Amino acid sequence: MSEPPTAAKTWRVLIADDDRLTRLMLRSVLEQEGYRITEVTNGQACLNEFRRSPPDLVLLDAMMPELNGFDCCVQMLSLPDTAHIPVLMITGLEDPKSVNRAFDAGATDFITKPIHWPVLLRRVRLLLEKSQLQAELQAANQQLKQLVMTDPLTQLANRRRFDQALAEEWRRAFRGNSPLSLLMCDLDSFKPYNDHYGHPAGDRCLQSVAQVIGRDIHRAGDIAARYGGEEFAIILPSTSTAGALHVATRIREGILNLGITHDYAKYGNQISISMGLATLWARQDLAPSLLVRFADEALYQAKAAGGDCCIIHSNANSGNRLDLPGLNLS
């Protein structure tokens, strides 16, 4: 007998076989190894149970009435997020055609009848361990991908993720014929804050501001990013200027409500933020860099106006379709 599964992970095995004695023997042997067992008597019942509660592994008899194991396997593995579940086909057929048919159906491995129990247990254990290892590797890769796209200080998207997301949303806006809004944000008088209060205090300030921004960006497609230094960028798909201005107002008020003292600010005595807003309808003859340019220019105006405000770019100020023959920039 193989070593039983660890207590940390009790795998569930779905057995599908129309032969009662085979099911009883499979259940008995596998339960002795610590596996949790669900058994069904035909292919359709197997498919229904698989859909209802996907197991960690399927032991599937190839020849069953109503829906045979080959067709059942194809249908199971065509369901969303199930391709990783191993299927061990049990067959009394070992001719090359049947073996190829099992693998073509998506079976991970096969074992022939009469069943050699030590071989079965070994294969079940190896398939489950391999499946678990692949899942852990996939999770680690996803985590690594997230880290590569995340600013370590603020936990917002980083510049790389921003550039990627802006290009994606620009294409989506073009296909969907919808407006795309962008907020470029910059903390007011942040260099004097860093100089007088120290970089650790500056980092804490950036983290607090990022929490406010992240809290007010809730839709699935919205992206808040640290653009660089004390500058942030917020992508708002399918959002008019009025909608984006509402978001900007919430963020501005949220940052003021932090009440972070700044005795060396050019205006006022606490941390505040300036924002530039631009909205465009994507077109084939325009690039997303134009949206960044407009939002940047509006941000420059907000800074020049004394900060703690949001300025809307005059050439991208409504979310309406825009004719830009001469680009009369504000």
Question: How far apart (Å, rounded) are the C-alpha atoms in residues 225 and 260?
Answer: 21
Question: How far apart (Å, rounded) are the C-alpha atoms in residues 42 and 60?
Answer: 9
Among 49, 230, 231, 253, the active-site one is: 230
**Cβ count within 10 A of residue 184:** 26
Question: How far apart (Å, rounded) are the C-alpha atoms in residues 268 and 262?
Answer: 8
Helix or strand holding residue 57 (H, E): strand 57-61
126 φ, ψ (degrees, to nearest 5) = -65, -40
Residue 153 identity (one-letter amino acid)? L
Q: Is 230 in the active site?
A: yes
Strand partners, 301: none
Question: How far apart (Å, rounded) are the C-alpha atoms in residues 208 and 201?
Answer: 11
Residue 67 burial (CB < 10 Å; 0-12/13-18/19+)? middle
C-alpha torsion 18→19→22→28, nearest 10: 70
Helix or strand holding residue 61 (H, E): strand 57-61
Q: DSSP strand E in 188-286: where?
A: 223-228, 231-237, 273-281
Residue 248 identity (one-letter amino acid)? A
Q: What is the DSSP string of 10-74?
A: --EEEEE-S-HHHHHHHHHHHHHTT-EEEEESSHHHHHHHHHHS--SEEEEES--SSS-HHHHHH
Residues annotated catalytic, as ranges: 230
